[in-house]
Amino acid sequence: MAPLGTMGVRSVSQKHDAVGDPITALDRWRNAVILLFLCLLIAAAIVSRRPDCLFDPQFWADDGAVWFADNYNLGVLTALIKPVGGYFHTFSRLAAALALLVPFRDAPLVLNLIAIVVQATPAAFLLTRRFAHLAPLRARLLMVVLLLAIPTSFEVHANVTNSMWFLALAAFLVLIAAPPANAAWRIFDVAVIALSGTTGPFCLLLLPIAVIQFLIRRRSWIGILLAILCVSAAIQASAMVSGMAKMRSPAPLGATPRLFVKIVGGRIIVSPVLGLDFLLLHTGIAGLACALAFAGAGLLGIYAILKGPPELRLLILFGSLVAGTSLLSPLVTLTNEPSWPPLADPRVAGRYWLIPVAAFLWACVWTLGRQRPLAVRAIGSLVIASALWTGVRYWRYAPLENLEFANYAAEFQRAPGGRDFTIPINPRPWAMTLHKR
pLDDT per residue over 229-277, tens digit each?
999 999 999 888 876 555 556 678 888 999 999 999 999 999 999 998 8
The secondary structure of residue 179, as a DSSP letter, is P
Instruction: Kindly report which listed range (85-94, 179-188, 237-246, 423-432) carries the lowest average pLDDT score.
Output: 237-246
Contacts of residues 425-428 at CB distance under 8 Å and 24 or more positions apart, as own/partner, are 425/58, 425/59, 425/60, 425/61, 425/63, 425/64, 425/65, 426/58, 426/59, 426/60, 426/61, 426/400, 426/401, 427/60, 427/61, 427/400, 427/401, 428/401
CA distances from 6 to 57, 131, 319, 344, 371 (A): 44, 12, 22, 38, 11
Separation between Cα atoms, residue 53 and residue 50, nearest integer Å: 6
Separation between Cα atoms, residue 437 and residue 433, nearest integer Å: 13
Beta strands in 140-216 (DSSP E): none
Phi, psi of 60 (to 5 degrees): -125, 120
State pLDDT tens for residues 38-73: 999 999 999 999 999 999 999 999 999 999 999 999
β-strand partners of 420: 435
State which H helix or E strand residue 255 sits in: none
Mean pLDDT of 375-401: 95
3-class secondary-structure state, position 362: helix
pLDDT at 347: 84
What are the helix (H) ranges across 248-309? 257-263, 271-274, 278-281, 283-307
Annotated domain spans of the chain: 257-398
Nearest CA among 245, 267, 263 for reference residue 255: 263
Nearest CA among 235, 138, 209, 183 for reference residue 355: 209
CA distances from 216 to 213, 219, 308 (A): 5, 9, 15
- Share the mean pLDDT of the chain: 90
Q: Which amino acid is at 352?
A: Y
Q: Is the pLDDT of residue 302 over 50?
A: yes
The secondary structure of residue 81, as a DSSP letter, is T
Q: Is the pLDDT of residue 85 over 90?
A: no
Nearest CA among 125, 312, 90 for reference residue 201: 90
With a CB cutoff of 8 Å and minimum separation 6, the contacts of 77 are none
